[in-house]
Chain A
Amino acid sequence: MDSYLTRNFDRPDAKTLAGYEKLGGFRTARKALGMKPEDVVAQVKAANLRGRGGAGFPAGVKWGFLPDNGKPRYLVVNADEGEPGTFKDRQLMERDPYQLLEGILITCHAIKAKVAYIYVRGELVHAARFLEECIEEMRFKHYLGKRCMGMPMELDVFVHRGAGAYICGEETALLNSLEGKRGEPRLKPPFPAVEGAFADPTIVNNVESIANIPHILEHGGEWFAKLGVEGDGGTRIFGVSGHVRKPGLYERPVGYNLRTLLFEDCGGIRGGNQLKAVIPGGSSTPVLLPSEIDIPLSIEGLQGAGSMVGSAAIIVMDETVCTVRAMWRLSRFYHHESCGQCTPCRDGCGWIEKIMERIEFGKGVPEDLETLEKTAHGLSGTTICPLADACAMPTLGFLGKFRKEFEEHIEKKECPYGNAFVPPWEVD
């Protein structure tokens, strides 16, 4: 069984509680709710489930950080999907919402939380509305409430919508946003497990991480661990966008080969064009050259290639792409999304955008490349949260691997690609 998370994606019947149950849904929750919470945690630890949001922290280990101090505990599901290139969580919520909700039920039993929030990105109006309807149905059927599924467990789940700030995907910014504040990341420590939502112990996990939980409990942690590679279990939903023939979501075991994914599963590059560059894990991760893609898609595999698996969002660029323009686009994004708390990020992301813009539009000077490098290094590791690093990493990646193209823009005082990307209708 290579895919389980997306198995119901093309089954409209899975979108009702009754339909989902007919397909075997909530059977595992019934079993897990009868287990001791620590036994559930042990299975998740054994599964080597690494967080699917981007940072890749082992989920079971995170759960173990909760202090036993008698305070209320919260589960917060991070559904603030915003990393450019990433589009898996929206689909997980819209196409199989009860899988996520079953995962929430089991997780809250394991971590002894009585309230869970799903923080849904503001733009994902349908996902948020649909989840609210599903939650209402679960309350009505007493799957949620004072005695969930007839077991001695109390739980309610609420959807909380964001309002268009990428930074709220960072867990402490998300918690501030949940509390009705500006989405500004908090200094750590204290970590959310100790002092999270409303100053109480809180676990923040990504949608895909939680959607994995029922399957881990159904088949066992060992089964899950074996699906992937050492220390990094299960499958991942790879979102492939850009210049492949068949973009889309592909659920594959952790450790799957990147070249195979792009050239076999995704049908290769559009129009028979040559591959130029691949961003392997969402826009924040350093870019790879075609010679670097014969690697396993795992946390370690990408580390070995000097990049990151991140949110498993793979952005593919063919030979027609101006990499300076691509980086300019990305720098605009990070500048726009910087929350403004830390000077290196607030100013640095802006400088990077300005320099990228002038290089792309033929106004760059030779010293710009050194300034870009210096600024990017000045951003790295100097701020409260990793947004600054997320801008620095692709900057240094593109500049390091496509330096000639940057120099060409400066020498010729224009973009050799005519300041445009080639749209699909001009290729096929």
Chain B
Amino acid sequence: MSWKPTPQTEDKLTKLLGAYPDRKAACIPALFLAQDELGWVPDDAIAWVSEKLGMAKSMVEGVATFYTMFNMEKIGKHHLELCTNISCSLCGAEQVLEALEKELGIKAGETTPDGLFTLHEVECLATCGMGPAMQVHDRIFEGITLEKVPEIIKELKGEG
């Protein structure tokens, strides 16, 4: 195993285990801890979770691949997740998607060559009254218009 989690991550996992009568229940939170550090879930992360929780690697991988929030491949620095489900689409999400694709020069599902942005269409983000909505890690943008698209990209670029 070439990747080793930071001591802080190890501590967080130890603390998490106290919440459950069975350590395997910490599988999802543990995968999140690894992804928070690495940006995605490589084999090393699977191996770490498997060792810590006493689960077979195949079981951990089965869990990781079931849930869409775990990135099984490396993604860009900023992960743009635009909701194109019904309420957001009724309010312009399809046009916003086109504008984002044009602005970034990529299609949904792709990453920009500089590795800065990955764009994904996602399902309902539970903010349907304020659509179109887009999640970028722990930030949420609501009521996105075509004019706001370049502003949002510029703002994220400014953050490096």
Cβ 8 A contact of A283, one of B26, B32, B86, B140: B86
Inter-chain contacts of B104 with A (CB < 8 A)? none
A86 in contact with B69 given A161-B32, A180-B26, A333-B85 (CB within 8 Å): no
The 0/1 profile, CB within 8 Å of B marked 1, for residues 395-414 of chain A is 00000000000000000000
The 0/1 profile, CB within 8 Å of A marked 1, for residues 89-133 of chain B is 111101100000000000000000000000000111111111100
Q: How distant is the Cα of A102 from the Cα of B63 in the complex, in angstroms?
A: 33
A65 → chain B closest CB, angstroms: 22
Stretch at the interface among B5-13, B16-24, B150-158: B16-24
Inter-chain contacts of A279 with B (CB < 8 A)? 86
Closest B residue by C-beta to A321: B90
Q: Please provide the chain A residues from 157 to 184 with a CB less than 8 Å away from any CB of chain B in the complex.
A: 158, 160-166, 177-183
A84 near B124 (CB under 8 angstroms)?
yes
Inter-chain contacts of A420 with B (CB < 8 A)? 94-95
Closest A residue by C-beta to B98: A420
B124 near A82 (CB under 8 angstroms)?
yes
Closest A residue by C-beta to B70: A163
Closest B residue by C-beta to A122: B69
Is A263 at the interface (CB under 8 A from chain B)?
A: no
B86 near A326 (CB under 8 angstroms)?
yes
B126 near A87 (CB under 8 angstroms)?
yes
Size of the B side of the interface (Cβ < 8 Å), in residues, is 47
B21 near A123 (CB under 8 angstroms)?
no
Is A337 at the interface (CB under 8 A from chain B)?
A: yes
Is A317 at the interface (CB under 8 A from chain B)?
A: yes
The 0/1 profile, CB within 8 Å of A marked 1, for residues 45-72 of chain B is 0000000010100000011001111100
The 0/1 profile, CB within 8 Å of B marked 1, for residues 314-344 of chain A is 0101000100001001100100110100000
B63 near A182 (CB under 8 angstroms)?
yes
Inter-chain contacts of B86 with A (CB < 8 A)? 84-85, 242, 279, 283, 315, 326, 329-330, 333
The 0/1 profile, CB within 8 Å of B marked 1, for residues 77-88 of chain A is 000011111110
Is B27 at the interface (CB under 8 A from chain A)?
A: yes
A84 near B87 (CB under 8 angstroms)?
yes
Is A243 at the interface (CB under 8 A from chain B)?
A: yes
Q: How distant is the Cα of A179 from the Cα of B129 in the complex, in angstroms?
A: 33
Q: How distant is the Cα of A313 from the Cα of B124 in the complex, in angstroms?
A: 12
Q: How distant is the Cα of A423 from the Cα of B91 in the complex, in angstroms?
A: 5
B128 near A87 (CB under 8 angstroms)?
yes
Size of the A side of the interface (Cβ < 8 Å), in residues, is 59
Is A239 at the interface (CB under 8 A from chain B)?
A: yes
Is A248 at the interface (CB under 8 A from chain B)?
A: yes
A125 in contact with B28 given A84-B123, A180-B53, A425-B92 (CB within 8 Å): no
A329 in contact with B84 given A82-B123, A126-B138, A241-B129 (CB within 8 Å): yes
Cβ 8 A contact of A180, one of B28, B87, B89: B28
A241 in contact with B29 given A165-B68, A182-B62, A198-B21 (CB within 8 Å): no
A158 near B85 (CB under 8 angstroms)?
no
B146 near A425 (CB under 8 angstroms)?
yes
Is A4 at the interface (CB under 8 A from chain B)?
A: no
B25 near A179 (CB under 8 angstroms)?
yes
Inter-chain contacts of B95 with A (CB < 8 A)? 420, 423
Inter-chain contacts of B92 with A (CB < 8 A)? 421, 423-425
Is A247 at the interface (CB under 8 A from chain B)?
A: yes
Inter-chain contacts of B68 with A (CB < 8 A)? 163-165
Inter-chain contacts of A425 with B (CB < 8 A)? 92, 145-146
Q: How distant is the Cα of A179 from the Cα of B63 in the complex, in angstroms?
A: 11
Inter-chain contacts of A180 with B (CB < 8 A)? 22, 24-28, 53, 55, 63
Interface set of B (CB-CB < 8 Å, partner A): 19-22, 24-29, 31-32, 53, 55, 62-63, 66-70, 84-87, 89-92, 94-95, 122-131, 135, 137-138, 140, 145-146
Interface set of A (CB-CB < 8 Å, partner B): 72, 81-87, 89-90, 117, 121-126, 158, 160-166, 177-183, 198, 239-243, 247-249, 279, 283, 313, 315, 317, 321, 326, 329-330, 333, 336-337, 339, 420-421, 423-425
| 25 intermolecular pairs with C-beta atoms under 8 Å apart | A72-B21, A84-B86, A84-B124, A87-B126, A90-B127, A122-B32, A122-B69, A123-B69, A123-B122, A123-B125, A123-B135, A163-B68, A179-B25, A180-B55, A182-B63, A183-B66, A241-B87, A242-B91, A283-B124, A315-B90, A315-B128, A333-B85, A421-B89, A421-B94, A423-B94
